[in-house]
Amino acid sequence: MIDALGRVRDHFHQAGYTVAGVRELLGPVAGGALARDEIVPALRATRGGSPLEAITRLFWLQVGIPEAGPLTDDLVAAGLAERSAGEVRATVHVEPLESVGGDPGIGYVVSDLKVRPGGEAPLRLDHVVGAGGASANLAQLVVHRPVENALDLGTGSGVQALHLADRARKISATDVNPRALALAQMSFALSGLRDVELLKGSLLDPVRDRTFDLIVSNPPFVISPDGRFSYRESGLPGDEVCRRLVTEAPSYLVDGGWCHLLANWLHIGGRSWEERVGGWFTAGGCDAWVVQRDVQDPAEYAELWLRDSCETGTAEYRRRYDAWLDHFERENVTGIGFGWISLRKGGTTVRVEELRQGVEQPVGAYVEKIFDGMAGGERFSTGALRTAAGVVQEQIGPPGAEDPERIVLRQTRGLRRAAGVGTVEAALAGVCDGTLPMEPLLEAIAELMGLPADDVRAHAQAVLPELIADGFFEIAGR
């Protein structure tokens, strides 16, 4: 089977089976329809009979294709397709993967066939999910630095391990689902990724007493009343799976090691979600950055995940929806947050925040800088500062007015934060280029504004740590 997978890889290369290749073949209309689970336009766009059209019909549209010599022979021999009623049909979904930087050829991801709304078969309980928006989200967050060893916890199709291959010398991948481990192994073989250590077991159990430079996980974070599907639900109550991972992961990291995960957390009536989730890090040992990217109310959440398992409109739909809402009501849940958690072993700074705006991707390219800023703001004294690249100033006020009502510093890069500032900070942003120490700059600003130098100095000392932590200013020399 391994040899056959190698031959299939050659067929894929020859056919141009890449993300860009499929996108170009389908075009925006058929591609857009397929994203909405409508295959008719894509069927029309792939009628030519080329190898790329055959492969796309097989794995994306999940329709039978005619025998096509060595291509279909090798697909069957590799266990990716089977012969049925004179045709060849896919047994799994195989999709090309590009890197977060757009490198087109980092591998192929094997997962279970897509179950479409109204499809004949329901989702299997051990379904293995493919590379979707969430997995791309996590891949974009992961720090860009070479590491000796990395752990992909809950590997599923193996997609995160494939993303890690450009930076980790050794990769371990775990899952509770044996089917996931089998499909991940096929993904690795098909992608030419050798020597990934595959381990069966729950959470960190399979790697007890070991340490890693990098841990990544897109865990089964979905909070549901019954925990039916292992690809998304852990069976633990509420958001316990995420709490457990972030409290246990630090013991599995080397000093300076990183952990990144996607998570859901509950908003409980009468409690601040920031304090509740921030409380997961009280044991210390790591700098932690928690970012809420989205919040849904209980009804939106139940609908989203019933849609995800293609149960919308089924006979069971109303009962399940009702049970989900009952569950949330009992637990006094007012909303469910979705976001990222990153840890860096060694510090004690915890930052919990909401960022709903589009951010520059991939975050992993500058996440170290974010952590340095988070920890460095408090350490700021009087050294030289540099205004971060891409910071612009906006002035808001009535037309024609001499002075603005509000000054905003806005990042056009990175996390794209905005901060309302005073004239002192705005003036500093205009002159801080990393070459001059603060003292003469503050004196010059005080003189220009006709203010006592001590007041300007005290103001700067009060407001700059936060602006440094938020990435508007950087400590020169870092």
| Residue ranges binding ligand SAM (CB under 6 A) | 129, 135, 138, 153-157, 159-160, 174-177, 180, 202-203, 218-220, 230-232, 234
CA dist 369 → 31, 163, 363 (Å):
37, 21, 10
Q: Distance (Å, rounded) from C-alpha 77 to C-alpha 190?
A: 13
* Residue among 90 and 138 whose Cβ is closer to ligand SAM: 138
- DSSP lists the bridge partners of residue 388 as none
Q: List the alpha helices (DSSP H) in 36-177.
A: 40-45, 51-56, 70-77, 133-141, 159-164
Using the minimum distance from each CB to ligand SAM, give the nearer residue, 46 or 187. 187
Which residue number, 144 or 369, has a Cβ lying nearer to ligand SAM? 144
Is the Cβ of residue 138 or residue 468 nearer to ligand SAM in the bound state? 138
The pairing of strands 253-268 and 286-296 is unpaired
In the complex, the smallest distance separating the C-beta of residue 174 from ligand SAM, rounded to whole angstroms, is: 6
Residue closer to ligand SAM (CB basis): 175 or 287 = 175
Separation of alpha carbons 476 and 108, rounded Å: 43
How far is residue 376's CA from residue 184's CA, in Å, rounded to a whole number? 40
The smaller minimum CB distance to ligand SAM, of residues 72 and 157, is found at 157
Q: Where are the alpha helices (DSSP H) in 411-452?
A: 423-431, 438-449
Q: How far is CA 393 from CA 104, 409, 446, 470, in A?
A: 37, 5, 20, 15
The CA-atom distances, in angstroms, between 430 and each of 293, 402, 406, 426 are 31, 19, 16, 6
Q: What residues pair up with 94 in beta bridges, in sequence order?
A: 110
- Return d(Cα 383, Cα 342) in angstroms, integer: 29
Closer CB to ligand SAM, 5 or 162, in the complex: 162
Of the pair 75, 180, the CB lying nearest ligand SAM is at 180
Cβ–Cβ under 8 Å, residues 153 and 170: no
Pick 156 or 298: Cβ nearer ligand SAM = 156
The answer to whether the Cα torsion of 48, 52, 55, 57 is positive or negative is negative
**Structure-token match 């920031």, residue found:** 274
Least CB distance to ligand SAM at residue 189 (A): 17
CB neighbourhood size of 320 (10 A): 19
Question: What is the nearest approach in angstroms of ligand SAM to the Cβ of residue 51?
Answer: 27
Least distance CB 161 / ligand SAM (angstroms) = 8
Contact (CB, 8 A) for 15 and 68: no
Residue 166, number of CB atoms within 10 A of its CB: 13
Count of all residues that appear for the chain in the document: 478
